[in-house]
Structure 1
Amino acid sequence: MVAAAPTVKPVTLELGGKSPIVVFDDVDIDKAVEWTLFGCFWTNGQICSATSRLLIHKNIAKEFIDRMVAWSKNIKVSDPLEEGCRLGPVVSEGQYEKIKKFVANAKSEGATILTGGVRPKHLEKGFFIEPTIITDINTSMEIWREEVFGPVLCVKEFSTEEEAIELANDTHYGLAGAVISGDRERCQRLAEEIDAGCIWVNCSQPCFCQAPWGGNKRSGFGRELGEGGIDNYLSIKQVTEYTS
């Protein structure tokens, strides 16, 4: 924006986020766990729209978290060329150290690292880090508020739909969000109430070139893809003709 300002060049910005995934207590737990982990750990969490804040209904929280931890421990972290690899290295040493610092800071602030946050024991070289799940979060913590851009999922429980919406929107960002529930009307309500440019229902991370893509708040402005993406390249003109 600063570079474009002197010549007033039009820009669109997509700046990442700290996207929520809201899981209610009327779900198929195994399917919801799979979508939750995919939404955060896909491409090692190095994706702008990663749903890295899990809001889980308190009625199923313990069972859900236990299954997530068990599943995460079985995710194969390895050289991407190895058969069965599910997570490779993060992009650079700098990013690797940044992720470790985020995890260390979360622990020092009182959060609990349930699994991950360290280099896999079988990998001595490379910028590998185990998929990480963090609980005992409060909303002022850095790990809850800042984008990690790595395989780190933080978890917070909720009791009511209203509380879930409030927590989902408690962020400077607004790129994406997801809601998982067997109640379609509830899903529609949350899709309308969550302040984000893209909402997924009973899934996380699908992206279609026909649909507009972009964020709200500090996640940027403007849209790419779809018909909405064309609008950024158009200029509206008014033509007025006087007749007598």
Structure 2
Amino acid sequence: MLYINGEWTNSISGKSLIVKNPATGEVIEEVASAGAKDVESAIDAADQAFAAWKKRPAKERSDFLKRAADYLREHADALARTVTTEMGKPFTEAKGEVNLAIDYLDWYAEEGKRIYGDTIPASAKNKHLMVIQEPVGVVAAITPWNFPVAMLTRKIAPALAAGCTVVLKPASATPLSALKVIEAFDKLGLPKGVINLVSGSATEIAGEMTKNSKVRKITFTGSTEVGKKLIRDSADTVKKVSMELGGHAPFIIFEDANLDLAIDGVIASKFRNAGQTCICTNRIYVQETISEEFGKKLAEKVSKLKIGNGLEAGVEIGPLIDEKGINKVEEHIEDALKHGGEILCGGKRVSIQGKGNFYEPTVINFANDNMKIAIEETFGPVAPIFTFKTVEEAIEKANHPEYGLASYCFTNDLSRAFKVIEGLEYGIVGINDPIPTTAQAPFGGVKQSGNGREGGKYGIKDYLEEKFVSINIG
């Protein structure tokens, strides 16, 4: 179903999307697929609701977000099962994502009450100058399939807190998690039109969002290629845009690091969600003096990771989202072998009871810059090991020509750590920390990894406009 102006409805065309479980290939459900006219109706509803919503006291908007957080907290297990069923990640990871989604609601319930303006010293005695913050207007939010709940609240929570209204397009592969969240908002009595949900064709939906002048901001998480198109298509109406795009994270390990902790860190970063995250490590740079030992220990641990349906106990590696994802992993591994790579573990597609998009977590030794995996985002469970000699070489190799989202470094040398922090051209740097994401901190990248930030006090800024007021008091 679509959710437009507070009503659940089918699409005008009657078209639908088929949602499959990537672990079994089975059809879970069919949902309505919106066309341009449906999206136009949703935008109109959001535009009409904006005038009243922005005038709501900040505390009222805050109270709603708190109630939404409490509701999702009470139903967290059920929502996590939906995430696992339609997306594939292990249930424990899905539960962690739901908890993060709740954290964003909690955080922005408070942040929305702290949108302050400024008084500016005047240059004339007969003037008072001030700056006030106002919501940008109708927001079009496009969310990805790999974090179908957390990315949703990371966009919706600051938008609602700021006084904006929203038209949401979830990924076609994972609309059910978004439906569950919007159902919760509906049950809690969110005013009509404040949030609208339109699932379906990305081309039709995004096309209407970008050309419609009533939409004042586009927020998107997804590939760099799609992000660039959204920016171009938004230019004619000069929309505000925030883009969280592709990544190619380096993971640097120095010889003084605690090797066991570094290996655990690589596994936590690389193989979370079967490698299908924009901030998971893509290139592991190990100092030459420890590279052989590191490779053996990493392969030993990775080979023991349990593959299977995410709803089964103890599963650590779930399926890839679809056949296209499998094909890209196979392409990158084949190319790596052609360019001198050596598989230390994994390297094969597997099936569970004859079903599913599963691929063995794989470690490749002797990685080099001639491989596709050194430049292209794999988005799968493949860990290539590169080597380096000096801190300067590590930084130079780690900086990607296009991407700059997340990066990691393990060392016990404080001076070396700060050299790496200053040298890495990334929006996020984790020092001895493979999972830096948290609701209160900014998330975003540089270069072609996007613009704008989500999370913390920084995340609400992109939903606000500054209005300068000059008053002549005579």
TM range (shorter): over 0.9
Contact 2:351–2:357 (8 Å) recurs in 1: no
Q: 1:110 offset after TM fit, Å?
A: 2.7
1:177 corresponds, among 390, 407, 413, to: 407
Letter aligned with residue 73 of structure 1: S
CA distance in 1, matches of 2:254, 2:442: 27
CA distance in 2, matches of 1:135, 1:242: 70
Structure number with the higher strand fraction is 2
Letter aligned with residue 165 of structure 1: I
CA distance in 1, matches of 2:316, 2:424: 30
Aligned length: 244
Identity of aligned residues (%): 37
Q: Which residue in 2 is equivalent to 1:65?
A: 295
Largest Rg, 1 or 2: 2
Q: Which residue in 2 is equivalent to 1:140?
A: 370
Secondary structure of residue in 1 paired with 2:409: strand
Q: Which residue in 2 is equivalent to 1:150?
A: 380
Q: 1:188 offset after TM fit, Å?
A: 2.1
State which drifts further: 114-123 or 72-81: 114-123
2:263 corresponds, among 33, 46, 51, to: 33
Show structure 2 runs of 5+ residues with no match. Answer: 1-230
Q: Which residue in 2 is equivalent to 1:9?
A: 239
CA distance in 2, matches of 1:64, 1:93: 32
Q: Which residue in 2 is equivalent to 1:117?
A: 347
Letter aligned with residue 182 of structure 1: N
Counterparts of residues 1-244 of structure 1 (less than 5 Å): 1-120=231-350, 124-239=354-469
CA distance in 1, matches of 2:413, 2:473: 57
State which drifts further: 6-15 or 120-129: 120-129
Secondary structure of residue in 2 paired with 1:86: coil
Letter aligned with residue 357 of structure 2: F
State which drifts further: 154-163 or 114-123: 114-123
Letter aligned with residue 69 of structure 1: A
Contact 1:32–1:180 (8 Å) recurs in 2: yes
CA distance in 2, matches of 1:110, 1:161: 25
Show structure 1 runs of 5+ residues with no match. Answer: none
TM-score computed with the length of structure 1 as normaliser: 0.93
Q: 1:140 offset after TM fit, Å?
A: 3.1
Contact 2:295–2:365 (8 Å) recurs in 1: no
State which drifts further: 46-55 or 106-115: 106-115
Letter aligned with residue 67 of structure 1: K
Q: 1:123 offset after TM fit, Å?
A: 5.3
Letter aligned with residue 51 of structure 1: T
Q: 1:243 offset after TM fit, Å?
A: 9.4
State which drifts further: 75-84 or 32-41: 75-84
What RMSD in Å do the two structures reach over aligned CA positions? 1.8
